Structure 1
Amino acid sequence: MCAKNSFLTSLGVEIYATGHRRWPDEVKARVVADTLEPGATVNAVADRYGVQPNQLSAWRRMAKQGKLVLPAIAPGEPVFAPLVVCDPSPAVRSCDGCPADERITIIIDEVRLELAADTPAVRLAEIVRALGAAGC
């Protein structure tokens, strides 16, 4: 247990003689971020840091509510960009500057969907939402 205490102290966790610990928000955020790694489980991460899984789940709820700010994603890792959809005016080029006769292509994993450039924004949003619900 001495090694784990030394490890936690190196992260900035204050450990009192009674056994209580004071976890700085930055350390909580780092632990929560570890649970979001592919293949990670709350139980495994909780065990690694010596915290109860229910406490770690509470920290995850705090992060979802915006009460705990997670560390930024390291440069070079993929990030998600917001999808912006708008309807082009009849005599105007489409939103991305492409001619209106070009196609809109949506690719999610192995699903490739090509639509006319004048497809209404509402329909595009419905399609993207349906693909997301289907787990694509």
Structure 2
Amino acid sequence: MSGLDLTLDPERQLRRFEVINGAGGRRHWSVDDKARIIAETLEPNAIISEGARRYGLRPQQVFAWRREARKQAASVQQDSPAFVPAVVAAAEPAASRSPKQRKRQATRDAGMIELEIDGIAMRVGRGADTKTVAAVIRALKATS
């Protein structure tokens, strides 16, 4: 048989009651408390949900605090001028070498062919591709 009694006995009618659990409203965390909780979550191998449970928070709240802390840190870094440490190394003494005599180089024009077609000059150096040279000559003839 069920434990539910549907009779209209006035002594057995349901009554409304409220449960008050704590002071109610939002909790306010100090900046130092938030910083301490955020620092705990930044430790290596820290699990954010465990840290949040330890303080009676939801993980979403901790993530929001971390995001806000990153934004504040970025704005502080951008607003203030920063200096980079300068490192000055001693100049190395130049090695004293006796000047080498330069070898005589072959003249620059050795092995070069120069063509002039209708006032347009073309120089072909040693090792030039024959197909390319032939194509350039044809192009020069076509323009003249």
- TM-score, structure 1 as length reference: 0.39
- The two structures have a TM-score, normalised by structure 2, of 0.37
Select the structure with the greater relative contact order (CA < 8 A; seq sep ≥ 6).
1
Larger radius of gyration, structure 1 or 2? 2
